[in-house]
Amino acid sequence: MKRLAVFVSGGGTNLQRIADYFAPNPNVEIVCVVSNNKGAFANQRAKNLGIPLLVVEKEYYNSEMFIKRLISLDIDLIVLAGFLWLIPQGLIEAFPNKIINIHPALLPKYGGKGFYGHHVHEAVVAAHEKESGITVHYVNERYDSGDIIFQAKVALSPTDTPDDVAAKIHVLEQENFPLVIEGLLFKK
């Protein structure tokens, strides 16, 4: 049995897709959802899915108690799905090469602190990029700078708005993220 923890901050569409993708697989279980936003719709998704939810405040999140709690869950992979906080060094050390993130751009472009969600798409449009995409990468102590695991690209048109780019990126996330997770869990 492979055990996942999914970290969220917002709507939770990637959480929903991951849960739906693995629902028929008895060898994968999402054992907890960690949220840093008590008002996130992802929290309701976790409850609807019957997945234990842990809403964390900054102090607890940066504590040894939090790390010990995650270790006690025997997690194989921590998946950041729209999670906006930097991962503490202690958590990275406790789960080496077992924490991944999905970023809505082709890293190393448009990554780092402040580049998330719509901010990324606005920057891509402002730069008149001809393509964008997603990057799944390992998490290290700096935003969006861990080793790249997977990238997928999509063509952009000169008339695309940030909302258009967001819609294209969302399709790539929904199609690819669960497959990348499965590949990491089962070393495909």
Q: Is the pLDDT of residue 188 over 90?
A: no
Cα–Cα separations (whole angstroms), residue 133 to 24, 44, 124, 149? 28, 28, 10, 14
Nearest to 180 by CA among 101, 120, 89, 72: 101
Reported as type and span, the H/E element at residue 15 is helix 13-22
pLDDT of residue 66: 97
Task: Say how many C-beta atoms besides its own lie within 10 A of residue 118's C-beta.
Answer: 12
Mean pLDDT throughout 8-17?
A: 97
pLDDT of residue 83: 95
List the catalytic residue out of 103, 118, 128, 170.
103
Structure token pair of residue 76: 């194989």
Q: Tens digit of pLDDT for each residue in 26-67?
A: 999 999 999 999 999 999 999 999 999 999 999 999 999 999
pTM: 0.96
What mean pLDDT comes out for the span 101-105? Answer: 97
Q: What is 2-186's CATH number?
A: 3.40.50.170
Whole-number pLDDT of residue 175 = 97
pLDDT in tens, 109-165: 999 999 998 999 999 999 999 999 999 999 999 999 999 999 999 999 999 999 999
pLDDT confidence band for 187 (50 / 70 / 90) = confident
The pLDDT confidence band at residue 173, using thresholds 50, 70 and 90, is very high
- Neighbouring-strand partners of residue 153: 133
Element (H, E) at 34: strand 28-35
121: annotated active-site residue: no
